[in-house]
Structure 1
Amino acid sequence: MRPYTVALTGGIGSGKSTVAQGFAELGAGVIDTDAIAHELTTPQGPAIAPILAAFGPMILSAEGWLDRACLRRIVFADPEARRRLEAILHPMIERVMLERLQSLNADYVLLVIPLLFETGQERHADRVLVVDVPETIQVARVMARSGLSAEEVQRIIAVQLPRHERIARAHDLIDNSGAPQDLEPQIQRLHAQYLRLAGA
């Protein structure tokens, strides 16, 4: 039987990893699908061969590592290419996530899934937590973090579920538009709530 499960999602640059880390420090189990995606796309990872077959050798560096910037340029310029990549990666990521969920020993588990609603994976969770920030903050944070241009960040935001829809489909909301210390009381309150729900 799987543990009580909360799906954590939010737009790019909303601070999902920071929030997940806060819950982990309080004892929650955390499974991060971005981390799984990175594992699957290391040089020996099972996703490399099908990605190479779909997109050609230009998506690999000389050392055999996935050139994420190159692949990102391809898939955000071409919706069909993006669908092709998602068809390879998403089922693999989901399978690993569910295997880990079954074997994780924790009072409750957070599944960090950036494209939660877009992939229909909210069905794996008892509850949905959305980390929310205004779009202007998303753009500024992603530009500072990854060196992408505003236009590139906007293209990524455009393929994600609109902010108002994400909020409407959330059970719980964390506002991450303020200072880092503003997160802690929100995480503490929800952690206590999830422990109660898991116990019930």
Structure 2
Amino acid sequence: MRVIGLTGSIGTGKSEVSRILQELGAQVIDADELTHHLQQRGQEVWRAIWQHYGWSVLGPDGQLLRRKLGHRIFLDPRERQGLNAIVHPVVQQHITRQLAELSQRGYHVAVIDMPLLIEGNWRHVVDEIWVVYAPLDLQLQRVIERDHLGQEEALRRIQAQMPIDEKLRYADYVIDNQGSLERLREQVTRLWRNANATV
């Protein structure tokens, strides 16, 4: 089974590309969605975070206060690395299991939607990498509007990830998301058809 790694940076429009792929019939494993599930009270990642941070990042109901934790790790690169070391191994186990299940069910192509695909050293897991691109000024505008953040905080979140221009060096295919939704859909549809035609 061919595995496509879909990545980008915050504000480039990766989630929109993932949605289009699902509309086209792609089997998409969403790493963020999986992580959110595993961070629910009682789940594996939740237990690991609780053991590391204690009650300081949990609400009265025991659920993870994601915004509070996010603010904390975006301010401190060491905290961010520590959290990634907790989260990534568990998520990787679940994704590996899901890929095996899709292969057993006869699928020939699968997509892993993962923001930190390159930083998290997932390059050896995927057969090709699709990077969703938008320039920094457009990233910043989108993050401010989407997350209702000030410019400084939005820029801090963007800079916490590998710069999008650097990610382009690892791309087998670049999806340029500076234009209209229609143009984006055309690019994604063409790539998806080509991926299936060459299996």
Unaligned runs of 5+ in 2: none
Q: Is 1:113–2:111 an aligned residue pair?
A: no
What is the aligned partner in structure 2 of residue 77 from structure 1?
Answer: 75
1:158: how far off? 1.5
Task: Report the identity percentage.
Answer: 34
Unaligned runs of 5+ in 1: none
What is the aligned partner in structure 1 of residue 153 from structure 2?
Answer: 152
Give the distance between the partners of 2:60 and 2:67, measured in 1 at CA. 15
Give the distance between the partners of 2:68 and 2:60, measured in 1 at CA. 13
Alignment size in residue pairs: 196
Structure 1 segments (4+ residues) deviating >3 Å: none
Letter of the 1:12 partner, please give it.
I
Give the distance between the partners of 1:167 and 1:8, measured in 2 at CA. 12
- Equivalent of 1:64, from 53, 62, 74? 62
- Equivalent of 2:28, from 30, 44, 61? 30
SS of 2:192's equivalent?
helix
Q: Deviations over 1:35-90 (max 9, x none)?
A: 01101101121111221222221211111211111101111111221111111101
SS of 2:130's equivalent?
strand
Give the distance between the partners of 1:86 and 1:92, measured in 2 at CA. 10
- Equivalent of 2:10, from 12, 27, 41? 12
What is the aligned partner in structure 2 of residue 141 from structure 1?
Answer: 142
Letter of the 2:63 partner, please give it.
W
- Equivalent of 1:95, from 81, 88, 93? 93
RMSD: 1.2
Letter of the 1:55 partner, please give it.
Y
TM normalised by structure 2 equals 0.94
Which deviates the most, 139-148 or 88-97?
139-148
What is the aligned partner in structure 2 of residue 181 from structure 1?
Answer: 182
1:25: how far off? 1.3
Give the distance between the partners of 1:94 and 1:52, measured in 2 at CA. 20
SS of 2:124's equivalent?
helix
